[in-house]
A and B are shown apart, each in its own frame.
Chain A
């Protein structure tokens, strides 16, 4: 047993040294954690900017003279009314302005007669970036309409309250952090994907690469159990995967703390204990991801083939993550026991400011460890087969 552990340590140290010197392995372990969170940070920051700016967007109106009361009302509500561009439709289509409000002829007359008066809002529905500004101006116009309706009812001696037979009040039960977690569902996904991406290159290089270079035969000639060699290689990939997870978490914290994401009015629980909880939940996933990769790469007949299979494996953690983002994952014993899904639930809960129970950690950990153990055992079995060693 002791010599077995010693052999594992020797192989692990060599593979780590080799991995650190491998520019490709380092790139995938270092670049990914920075790229994903930073890109989404930029995206969310951009969204926050749009939302904040929506209130400040000036309202271009065609034929302001046909609706002086409306213009006055808008100005009284802090809106800057400007002259519309020469060609309002073209301008909207080109994105020069997010929308143009047009007052048709007879607007004032209709108002005076109390018949529905029409306003035209020229928009381009295919432009995502103008959506916030459009809904803002629509809301304003809605208020204006309601105010007019109220005045008319009052003039006829009717209480405007009659317009509201039912009032729906939303009672928000989610904490701010839970709301934030649903918006930032990308964080658990990045964390769980990091477990697959971090050790990917190393796993391929240490198995399929080892055989393709012709260095597997000499390696296996050392008086060391094959299982020790496989475990050493597996653990090296695990170390890279965990490093990638830690970097991803750091990058996410950085993005959420130092970009305009905060202006969305949401905050994630990014205190140190929660982060350690995430790491604890992700660790078994890293063990499993690396074991799957080592197995698949040993099974492949060449380095290229192994890379193809393994890049497909990255989609495995994405499935529960995407389901979680779309519909939310239900927390049940069954779901917790599915590797990947369980981790997703725990990480979401932790980042949402909730506390995870021991069972929440334990169940996904057990299932992930079972899968990892089975994969490593199978790989060790394959390494004892002549057809695998000699690539037949």
Chain B
């Protein structure tokens, strides 16, 4: 479970995150939805502890991220915004390196690696060097190394960005499976269809604030539009006052 309260982050004069509070439950997929520049990536970086908030608190399974970032990072698997690979390491070596850094050793580690290679259908690329990997293959390696320690919480920053249909499907399938295993999955996206197809709860952000939250149906009802895309435009629109007002209503 991931709980964030009144997060705030400023870079110089620019306030990237004004005030974001959210709660991602175990056994649910929570989507962080918002247009480009809404503060999604910064919010996620605050959640997984790579950035310190100027104000507010984050807890992952009741571990305070600011006070004990290493303790929190052991409980979460992250696909960050930047997820480059080492061109001279094979897929298996990538996963092994991160598994070792997460404290896994020996047979348990090798078993976990084999299971992830099987699960993400990476058999063909497991022992090839990453230099020539396609976008989809790179994504698979990034996901495998994020999940190698079997974390209870999973944070994914735009996991389907730039992927083709087949790879996107594979990622969606993985997200659903993780939820069905009772894990807490939080991912960000700016793609409407994706969020509506996957999420149990949507948190809508714009201009560094949460403007609405609820199930896809609740958001549709809230905006008065039957189409989720219209709801998105309406709720993240320029009229912040109205959006804020609705956000309050949606919290109920």
Q: Which of A216, A221, A386 contacts B78 (CB 8 A)?
A: A221
Asked whether any CB of chain A lies closer than 8 Å to the CB of B84, the reply is yes
Interface residues of B in 29-87 (CB under 8 A from A): 48, 50-52, 70-71, 73-74, 78, 80-87
State how many angstroms separate the Cβ of B140 from the closest Cβ of chain A: 14
Bound: A308/B157 CA distance, A: 34
> Are B80 and A218 in contact (CB-based, < 8 A)?
yes
Contact yes or no, A215 B78, CB < 8 A: no
Give the chain B neighbours of A389 by CB distance below 8 A. 50
Chain B interface mostly: loop
Bound together, the chains give a CA A219 to CA B73 distance in angstroms of 11
How many residues of A are in contact with the other chain, CB < 8 A?
A: 25
A22, A216, A217: the one contacting B88 at CB < 8 Å is A22
Given A221-B80, A223-B103, A392-B11, the answer on whether A215 and B86 have CB atoms closer than 8 Å is: yes
Selected from B51, B70, B82, B142, the residue in CB contact (under 8 A) with A216 is B82
- Whether the pair B51, A213 counts as a contact (CB closer than 8 A) is no
Q: How far is the CA of A17 from the CA of B89 in the complex (A)?
A: 8
Given known contacts A10-B101, A389-B50, A218 and B83 CB-to-CB distance under 8 angstroms = yes
Chain A residues near B (Cβ < 8 Å): 3, 7, 10-11, 14, 17-18, 21-22, 213-225, 386, 389, 392
| Given known contacts A17-B93, A223-B74, A386-B51, A218 and B98 CB-to-CB distance under 8 angstroms | yes
Q: Which 5 A-B pairs have the closest CB atoms?
A: A214-B84, A214-B82, A213-B84, A222-B101, A215-B84
- B146 within 8 A of partner (CB): yes
Instruction: Tell me, yes or no, whether B217 is within 8 Å of chain A by CB.
Output: no
State A17–B86 Cα separation when bound (angstroms). Answer: 11
Of the residues A11, A18, A223, contact of B70 by C-beta under 8 Å:
A223
A215 / chain B contacts, CB cutoff of 8 Å: 82-86
Within 8 A of A (CB), among B167-216: none
User: Is there a chain A Cβ closer than 8 Å to B21's Cβ?
Assistant: no
Tell whether B6 is near chain A: CB-to-CB under 8 Å: no
A267 CB → nearest B CB, Å? 44
Partner of B50, one of A7, A213, A220, A392: A220
Q: List 29 A-B contacts (CB under 8 A).
A: A7-B101, A10-B97, A10-B101, A17-B88, A17-B89, A18-B88, A21-B89, A21-B129, A213-B84, A213-B85, A214-B82, A215-B82, A215-B85, A217-B80, A217-B83, A218-B78, A218-B83, A221-B48, A221-B73, A221-B80, A222-B73, A222-B98, A222-B102, A223-B70, A223-B71, A223-B74, A224-B70, A225-B70, A386-B52
Taking the nearest CB of chain A, how far is it from the CB of B145, in angstroms?
7
**How many Å lie between the Cα of A251 and that of B83 in the bound state?**
42
- Residues of the A chain whose Cβ atoms lie less than 8 Å from the Cβ of B80: 217-218, 221
A17 cross-chain contacts in B, Cβ below 8 A: 88-89, 93
B98 contacts A213, CB within 8 Å?
Answer: no
Query: Is B127 in contact with chain A by the CB < 8 A criterion?
Result: no
CA distance A3 to B103 in the complex (A): 9
Residue in chain A with minimal CB distance to B71: A223
Given A21-B88, A218-B145, A221-B78, 20 more pairs with CB closer than 8 A: A17-B93, A18-B86, A21-B129, A22-B88, A213-B84, A214-B82, A214-B84, A215-B84, A215-B85, A217-B50, A217-B83, A218-B78, A218-B98, A218-B146, A219-B101, A221-B146, A222-B73, A223-B101, A386-B50, A389-B50
A18-B82 CB under 8 A given contacts A10-B100, A221-B73:
no
- Which residues of A are found within 8 Å of B87, using beta-carbon distances? 213
Q: Which of A215, A216, A220, A392 has the most CB of B within 10 A?
A: A215
Q: Which chain B residue lies CB-closest to A221?
A: B78
Q: List residues of chain B with CB within 8 A of the CB of A223.
A: 70-71, 73-74, 101-103
Instruction: From known contacts A10-B101, A18-B88, A224-B101, infer whether A218 and B142 are also in contact, taking CB-CB under 8 Å.
Output: yes
Chain A residues lying within 8 Å of B142, measured Cβ to Cβ, are 218
Distance between A235 CB and nearest chain B CB, rounded to angstroms: 16
In the complex, A111 Cα to B16 Cα: how many Å?
Answer: 100
